[in-house]
Amino acid sequence: MKHCPPDINTAVPAEFRKITGSLFPSGNLPADKKDGLAATEGFAQALGIGTEYKRLLNLKRDSAEMLEFLGHFQHNLDLLIQKTWVEKAEESLKEKLLDELPPFMNLIEQKKYIRALEKFGFILDELAYLFFGTQSNENDFAEYTFRIDTQIGLFWWYCSRLNGLKDTCGENITDNDTLWAVLLIGICYLTNF
């Protein structure tokens, strides 16, 4: 998953291509903020987290309820990493990944969403490796995950799109609402995983 082959969108089942195409049109974020928020809500619905996602999206980002939710996310992700069975030689990967969580959470707290998305992409790459082994680095990984389950496939497709988002969108994105909305998709999904 560290690379995103040009044909990754062909792995997406036809009924989800409109939703995925609106979330990351041409590999970028939607140009219009309203379209971006609508795209994230539609994608969250397809992932099965629509109601929770919409509720969270409407919370103030620094509210007590949101901070509590982010604490649950961090705890759940920590447990996912710790409880994943790996070969003895790969234990250091788990430790390295656990070390990435506090800096990621700090980026969210500082509202540096483009950098948070970039770090989240890295975290998700490593998490995919913990879950799926070397299969996560294969060109057909997206297709493989869709064969397991449509929602799992959509989630790992989303993860693959985060990689390189900074390169296609640049550092000067001023629409923090859309960046937050895109980031919140993955956070919400993993919290409810």
First to last CA, the chain: 20
Q: Which residues in the chain come in under a pLDDT of 70?
A: 1-9, 164, 166-174
Question: Which residue reads 């999206």 in tokens?
Answer: 57
- d(C-alpha 36, C-alpha 184), whole Å: 13
pLDDT at residue 176, as a whole number: 85
49 close to 188: Cβ distance less than 8 angstroms: yes
pLDDT at residue 26, as a whole number: 77
pLDDT at residue 31, as a whole number: 77
> For 59-104, what is each residue's pLDDT tens digit?
999 999 999 999 999 999 999 998 887 777 778 888 999 999 999 9
Tokens of 76: 């759940």
173 close to 117: Cβ distance less than 8 angstroms: no
pTM beyond 0.85: yes
- d(C-alpha 24, C-alpha 136), whole Å: 21
